[in-house]
Chains A and B, each alone.
Chain A
Amino acid sequence: MASDASLAFEVLPALVTFAALTPATTPPEVVGSMGATAGATTAGTVFAFFTATFFVVATFLAGAFLAIAFFTGAFLTVTFLATAFLATAFLATGAFFVVAFAAAFGAAIALLDSKIAGSKSAEIKATPAALLIHLELFKLLTILIFTFPNFSRRSPARMKRFFSPMSGRGWSAGATCAQICSWDGRLTPMPVNQDFVSKVQVFEPHKASLPPLIPYIKEFWNRRVFAIELARFNDKAEYLGSRLGKVWLILNPLLLGIVYYVVIVIIRGGSDHNGLTRLNHLLIGLFTFYFAQSTVMAGAQSITLGGRLILNQAFPRTLLPFSCAIQAFREFLPTIPVYILVLLVGNWLSPATKFAGVSWNFLWIPFVIACIALTAFGLALLFATMNVYFRDTNKLLTYITRIWMYLSPILWLPSSLHGKSKLLLYINPLGPALTGNSRIWIDDTGLSQNVILGCIFWAVTSMCVGGYFFISRERDFAIRI
């Protein structure tokens, strides 16, 4: 949560600049060209940044070598020549790849921007979201570029092997282990002495990658109380010492929502004809997104942080991310009354604010929330597994969730997308659900068929993919913690 607050302060200046550059009245074609310019600027900035980095590193190296040579008094000329050569070579190879990479990247962004600008909407391109996405992509690019030069020396076959999820070295380091050592949770009832619980457990290596699912699910169901209580006790422990306690759970997204509102609507100078409708859309979107985000982020860490439990107790490991999902849900629930309060107050202050009232459409909400929970839980399982093998997954995840938020219909309205750009909503795992959510709460309309199908598709896909990855590898966790 703290990182989100810092996020607001980090992006605020950028938002203000962009908002100042893009008045709400800018005609679409101007905005389009701005998008293309942004793409070109992207390439330029990246190039300048990396050239500068390489230059600094090379200069530093040269300086260090010179200092050593000076103090030892020997080999002065040789050292100097070697350093100069090294620096030039470093700069040259680095610059070559950076130019190639940045050019391709800039072109792609420019293309994307011109596509978006080409659509009829004035909404998405004018929102700061576009700029924020650029910013986040920069950061990802930074990570990629640092490792890119090494890749040039790899043969295509090896590259393919590395990226292929099931067979590559990086990914399957654990697969061989998972294949040879896994426990079989088969429970065969057997008549034994009445003094004992008549249950024989057999542990032996088996070939199948998944354990028998029915006993697994039974065991999960039997142990569900453990996950629920773990969530409750974690909640209790977390807010035991803090004076405002659980109020922070509500204050944090509320304040962040207001910050975004100030930036998007007030600073941009846009006049909102619908009173505070935009604020309501933003708040319900943020609250719901936070539920998904904390499920994924906390769930991804639950295995690596639960080391002692995993080493010393046998239980279905899915219970730990599940417990995180429950905790996220417990934290999400109190934000709904807050949203309703804001809605009522907003309506009282500015009668133009859309006010949905109560209708049968609200019965869709449990469905939408369930879909969001399943999607997020599946993703949590996937990232939790990755985090066991690569401990820096969590760092990457902070960027991924931020990009994810800007790509979700929270800071912008789903209705601002037209034509092909509408696909953006459906590529995003939470896109359909968040669209539907906002439609129910704000417009008091039911869900369209596409949204329903989208919700179900992402919930099922994410549970299948995440569940498969997690359950097939969880028997390997104890030796990797």
Chain B
Amino acid sequence: MPEELAVRIEDLSITYKVSLESKRTFKNALMRASLRQDAKMRTIEAVKHMTLDIPHGSVLGIVGSNGAGKSTLMRCIAGILTPTQGRVAVNGKISTLLALGVGFNPALSGRDNIILGGLASGLSKEEIESKTDEIAKFADLPDGFIDLPVRTYSSGMYGRLSFSVAVTMTPDILLLDEALSAGDAAFKEKSFDRMRQLCAEARTILIVSHALATVTDLCDQAIWMHKGTMLAQGKPDKIVAEYLKFLNVGTLPSNYEDM
């Protein structure tokens, strides 16, 4: 793998089976087996034959409608889901922000949750403890809230805290899934600044977003995913324009129909 690449995806396919049963229980399995029924399963091809190189220092935006496989791709890069076919190589430490407040315990204080969230994402205890104040400062919660239970927070405050935990990690590769919507306008500006700073430090960021302005503002590369395949790759302006056209017209551009 060349050194300048952060992520290399080669012919990646991710397929999984989901059960159509409401709940998978031993009783159901026993009944089904005894009645000679097959389990009702459906195969979902979330990502199909995708190849992509992401160099270090790039900010990649991923756009696409719901169910396009964006989150599955992110989870695969993070090592949570496994490829069915192909290969993903990742060069560097990954931090993920795929959902807000992962590993948080609502009954505990913000300070405790910073430690919990940091440990969950793989930091050592010393590292996270030395950064607790910095994170609390970045989250910029109202007076005294950092020592109150997280369940008393507003959803915006909750989002800010968990966003702060993820970006203060100084990861090499940051995966963000719809997380920039956390907080108010002031905090959004602050988080944009922080992302630009991370980019300036030549870190790699992957952003999944439906807020297309975010993609054009922050990213220097973008891809458009549709039903598991990558339709286009290029400059964010161009990709977003094409994606918008598709959204308005409702059909794929003619030059993509073969794919």
Contacts and interface: CB of A to CB of B under 8 A. Distances in A.
A153 B83 contact: no
Nearest to A143: B27
A230 B119 contact: yes
Given A193-B3, A200-B91, A311 B125 contact: no
Interface residues of B, number: 65
A394 to B, nearest CB: 10
Interface string A224-253: 011001100110110011000000000000
Nearest to B171: A197
Contact of B105 (A191, A237, A315): A237
A185 to B, nearest CB: 8
B98 A181 contact: no
Contacts of A193: 3, 56
A80 interface: no
A475 B82 contact: yes
Contact of A393 (B26, B32, B91, B119): B26
A153 B33 CA distance: 10
B103 A203 contact: no
Contacts of A153: 34-36
B7 to A, nearest CB: 10
A115 interface: no
Interface in A361-413: 386, 389-393, 396
Interface in B118-155: 119-122, 124-125
Interface in B11-58: 14-19, 23-27, 29-36, 38-39, 41, 56
Contact of B102 (A158, A191, A199, A308): A308
A204 interface: yes
A196 interface: yes
B230 interface: no
Nearest to A204: B87
A401 B16 CA distance: 34
A409 B252 CA distance: 71
B75 interface: yes
B125 A225 contact: yes
B34 A154 contact: yes
A313 interface: yes
Contacts of B15: 180-181
A478 B34 contact: no
A237 B149 CA distance: 10
A101 to B, nearest CB: 15
B76 A205 contact: no
Interface stretch (B60-68, B107-115, B205-213): B107-115
A198 B38 CA distance: 48
A120 B115 CA distance: 59
A223 interface: yes
B199 interface: no
Given A205-B82, A314-B79, A391-B25, A233 B3 contact: no
Given A229-B116, A233-B105, A311-B98, A196 B56 contact: yes
A182 B32 CA distance: 28
Given A150-B35, A169-B33, A192-B3, A177 B17 contact: yes
B116 A204 contact: no
A147 B27 contact: yes
Interface string B60-103: 00000000000000011111111111111111111010110011
B75 A313 contact: no
Nearest to A396: B26
A478 B80 CA distance: 7
A202 interface: yes
Interface string A295-307: 0000000000000
A197 B87 contact: no
Contacts of A196: 56, 91-93, 172
B119 A203 contact: no
A309 B105 CA distance: 11
Nearest to A147: B30
A355 interface: no
B231 interface: no
B202 interface: yes
B185 interface: no
Contacts of A386: 26
B113 to A, nearest CB: 9
A151 interface: yes
Contacts of B259: none
B92 A197 contact: yes
Interface in A172-187: 173, 177, 180-183, 185
A10 interface: no
20 contacts: A150-B34, A151-B34, A181-B14, A181-B16, A181-B84, A196-B91, A197-B92, A201-B89, A203-B77, A203-B90, A205-B83, A223-B122, A226-B120, A309-B103, A310-B80, A311-B99, A314-B79, A315-B122, A390-B24, A393-B26
Interface of B: 1, 3, 14-19, 23-27, 29-36, 38-39, 41, 56, 75-94, 96, 98-99, 102-103, 105, 107-108, 112, 115-116, 119-122, 124-125, 172, 201-202
Given A200-B90, A315-B122, 9 more contacts: A183-B81, A185-B79, A191-B3, A196-B91, A200-B1, A201-B94, A203-B89, A205-B84, A479-B81
